[in-house]
Amino acid sequence: MKVNLITDARFHNLALMKISSYHKAKGDSVTLNEPQQPADLTYGSWLFNTQRYHADINGGPGHDPSIKLAPDIEQCKPDYSLYSRLGYSLGYTWRYCFRKCEFCVVPKQHNPKLHESIWTFHESRQKSICLLNNNTFTDPQWRETFEEIWEANLLVVEHGFDARLLNDEKAEALKRTRFDRGIHFAWDFMKDEKAVLRGLRLAKRYKLDCMVYVLIGFNTTREEDIYRCQKVHDLGFRPYPMPYNGGTRDDRLFKRFICLRFYSHYPSIEAAWRGYR
């Protein structure tokens, strides 16, 4: 049987990688993103609302985030040959997150409280690993994940952690772990100021290399955006504005302003923003 896989994901798609493994094990031929090729069965997995081609079976956050893979497909190891230039393994050791953020697709998904080993998806030939976990530190067995990574001497590809859950043990674990582009935290809501800053101060004490995503254009004012970026900067970390749903023109301008570090020659981000505009 000929199987075609279609997605709008730019770099990889874990669901399609598992589907590919499943069908290849049955002796089927599999192609990726060749919608014009005739196929007996076509799967579409959409990260965004960009479905442009017909598929017999559709899923993904952009289509219906509640749709899950069949159990016999879910248990398959990803087919890394589908993305031959990927360079790292990827998967979940923990999907659950107790946060119910209104802007996030995760609460719409079925994410059980189930811990899994990295070896359910990692291949030893890979020297790097990408955790797709929604909130690693909500896993009671989070340390087991780190210990497996340390034992295999893996480099962790870009991954975010919840600064509000940071403590000395977790900060020490992050310090011991090798990351390819530093550690990512996020500050989405003003109401979380106390918890986020407590975590960031702890990160500073452990001299962690961090970038902090700052959600803008959702339920904060520009003054609150400037305030959060200034706090992050004052702690010695890099703020990175994330416009909600692409944001307004002014949101995108503010992101560019921060990312260019235009404010570095001014006494404050507020003063620099006035001059930049």
Phi, psi at residue 250, to the nearest 5°? -70, -35
Domains in the chain with CATH codes: 1-74 (no CATH), 75-276 (3.80.30)
Q: In what order do the strands lie in the sheet with 210-216?
A: 183-187, 210-216, 238-243
Q: What's the pLDDT at 50?
A: 67
Q: How far apart are CA 253 and CA 248, in angstroms?
A: 9
Provide the residue-wise pLDDT of the chain in tens; the chain has 277 residues.
999 999 988 889 999 999 999 999 999 999 999 888 888 999 999 888 767 788 899 988 888 888 889 999 999 999 999 998 899 999 999 999 888 888 877 777 778 899 999 999 999 999 999 999 999 999 999 999 999 999 999 999 977 999 999 999 999 999 999 999 889 999 999 999 999 999 999 999 999 999 999 999 999 999 999 999 999 999 999 999 999 988 999 999 999 999 999 898 899 999 999 988 6
* Structure tokens, 76: 């398959």
Phi-psi category of 109—alpha, beta or left, where left has phi over 0 and alpha has psi -120 to 50? beta
Q: Which residue has the tokens 């509000």?
A: 164
Q: What's the pLDDT at 106?
A: 78
For residue 36, what are the CA distances in angstroms to 20, 124, 143?
18, 35, 46
Q: How far apart are CA 139 and CA 78, in angstroms?
A: 23
